[in-house]
Amino acid sequence: MSEHALSVEARAWARSPWDHTPGPVPGAEDVRALVLAGYGLNCEAETAAGLRMAGARAEILHVADLLDADAAQLKGARMLVFGGGFSFGDHIASGRVFANRLRFRLGEHLAHFVDDGGLVLGICNGFQTLVKLGLLPALDRRPGEGLPAQQATLVHNDRLGYRNAWVRLAVDPHSPCVFTRGSTGVPLEVPSRHGEGKLVFASATIRARAEAEHLVPVRYVDADGQPTQAWPDNPNGSAGAIAGLCDATGRVFGLMPHPEAYLHPQAHPRWIAQRDQGRLPPVGHGLGVLVNGVRAAVEG
């Protein structure tokens, strides 16, 4: 992709989610966001930093403390973040052990948290966990029903091995996802790093419904902005180039790439060229995802 094309993307994404200013969201000081840590998770610091840049009161909480308190920590929280890493060493399958522990210890509380208007964000391992919890895509789930059955999973990349590289994501402007709303439709760039990121649905019907109901907020795209199955633009081979899912409320969102890893423009591999050409964005693209989530929490 040319530097000119990248600068257009950067400016378009920066304009929309935070209205020209990278500062805190008004009213965000009332948003308590919990970022889970421990048991192999390793992206909590940068995730919490991004939420604080958006103005939220982000707290890093060890999963053990959440479990031991029987979910009392969820009281008063507006957002729950499942970050990236390798929970329980990715034994059995990525996110499987973590999801099982949460389902059987806190499943009812997590369902109540969503039903009460809480926002949930899952990044990489967090996305894997949310899918295995049944919280994504959660078709036909109704409030008060508890956690639904699992409808999808994430398996090993088509090209086996851990892939660490930047990707482009196109945003569906018709998706109910609150974390991506306001996008101009221009792709954003964020890092992606995983070995089990290929999304597989339990049936073709579930996939068709998820796509028809716009529960696929982000897709991997090539240099021309077109969804692609081709490696390396699509790092895992997910059908339909699907990079993330949301539920019907739009308040539960999971994606494989890492928005929290691109908070500052200098994190981009071509930031010096952008700077020298006067095209350096005011903030990293990924911050927009967190800003949108905090804004949605403020608006209730």
Tell me the catalytic residues: 124, 258, 260
Overall residue count recorded for the chain in this entry:
300
Q: Let me know: does 173 contact 219? Beta carbons within 8 Å.
A: no
Q: Spell out a b/e string for 271-294, using b for 16 or more CB atoms within 10 Å of the CB, else e.
A: beebeeeebbbbbbbbbbbbbbbb
Tokens of 127: 């996305």
Q: How far is CA 177 from CA 72, 150, 249, 264, in A?
A: 27, 20, 7, 23
Alpha carbon of residue 49 to chain centroid: 15
The Cα–Cα gap between 65 and 135 comes to 22
| 287 φ/ψ angles, rounded to the nearest 5 degrees | -60, -30
d(CA 41, CA 126): 9
Contacts 24+ apart (CB under 8 A), 267-272: 268/166, 268/189, 269/166, 270/3, 270/6
